[in-house]
Structure 1
Amino acid sequence: MTEYERSRTMPAPPEQVFDEAANVGRLNSWMPEDLHVRAEELPAVTVHEDHSDRDTSALLRARKEQMRLEWGTRDTGGYAGWLQVAGIDSGASEVTVHLSFFEKEHDPGQEAVHTALDGSLERLEEQVRLRVDGAAG
């Protein structure tokens, strides 16, 4: 098993950050750009991967009381992850994303995963900023 984790500070309270991250209709705006999530009957979702042109059955659970998203492959059990939002001083939040690859063939490697996670967290921060700025204006 291989695990990866990245964190980023967001300019909003944890409830706002979690609401943005957990919005199933907006997941594609911040997730890795080659992944597209289509909700079925939650927690069931389908994830389409552009580079392989494959659909994968997955599960996605939002636990608002814990400020946590959890996901993973449904049929194969090769991959799982979570996103945790925690409040920090001055109304900001820290978002941590953790990925676990249970089978070597599913692991794209450290550089690819870190690049994808950093890009996703950056896009999520942009979405949070737009939401905060829109609410203030």
Structure 2
Amino acid sequence: MTEYERSRTMPALPEHVFGQAADVDQLEAWMPQGLHVHAEDPPAVTVHEDRTHEDVSALLRARPDQMRLEWGTRDQGSYTGWLQVAGIGSGASEVTVHLSFFDESHDPGEQAVRGALDSSLQRLEEQVRLRADNAGG
């Protein structure tokens, strides 16, 4: 099993960050590029990966009381992940994303995963800022 984890501080309340991260209709705005989530009968979703042109059955669960989003493959059990939002005071939050690959053939490698996680966290922060700007104006 291979695991990866990245964190980022965001200048927004944890409820706002989690609300943006858990919005199924907005997942593609911050998730790694080339992944597309289609909600079926929640928590069941299908994830399409442009790189492999495959559709994968997956689960996606939002746990608002814990400000946690959890996901993973349904049939193969080869991959899981979670996103956790925590308030750190002064209206800021820390967002941590963790991925676990149980099947090495699904692991794209450390450099690719770290790059995708960093870019996803950056895009999530941009989406949170856009949402805050739109709410305020």
Fold-level similarity (TM above 0.5) = yes
* Cα shift at 1:86: 0.1
- The list of structure 1 runs, each at least 4 consecutive aligned residues, that deviate by more than 2 angstroms after superposition, is none
Q: Percent identity?
A: 73
- Could you give the per-residue CA deviations for residues 2-58 of structure 1, whole angstroms, max 9, x where no partner exists? 000000011110000000000000001100011000000000000000010000000
Structure 2 length as normaliser, TM-score?
A: 0.99
1:44 equivalent in structure 2: 44
Does 2:130 correspond to 1:125? no
Which ranges in structure 1 are unaligned for 5 or more consecutive residues?
none
State the shift of 1:115 in Å.
0.5
Deviations 1:63-84 (A, max 9, x none): 0000000000000000000000
Q: How many residues align?
A: 137
SS in 2 for 1:116: helix
1:94 partner letter:
E
1:1-137 correspondence runs (5 A): 1-137=1-137
2:83 partner amino acid: L
Give 1:123's aligned amino acid.
R
CA distance in 1 between counterparts of 2:9 and 2:133 reads 17
Looking at structure 2, the residues matched to 16 and 53 of structure 1 have their Cα atoms a distance apart, in angstroms, of 33
